Amino acid sequence: MSSHKEQVQQRLRTIEGHVRGIYRMVEQDSYCIDVLMQMDAVQKALDQVGRMVMDQHLHGCVTTAIRSDDAVERERVIGELMQVFSERRK
Q: What is the pLDDT of residue 85?
A: 83
What pLDDT score does 10 carry?
A: 97
pLDDT at 86: 86
Give the model's pLDDT for residue 2.
72
Q: Total structural domains in the chain?
A: 1
CA distance 7 to 46: 13
Phi-psi region of 68 (alpha: psi -120 to 50; beta: other; left: phi over 0): beta
- Residue 28 sits in which domain range? 3-88
**How far apart, in whole angstroms, are the C-alpha atoms of residue 44 and residue 50?**
10
Dihedral in degrees, nearest 10, Cα atoms 66, 72, 73, 78 = 60
CATH number at residue 22: 1.20.58.1000
> Could you list the pLDDT tens digit for every one of the 90 residues in the chain?
579 999 999 999 999 999 999 999 999 999 999 999 999 999 999 999 999 999 999 999 899 998 989 999 999 999 998 998 887 776
What pLDDT does residue 87 have? 77
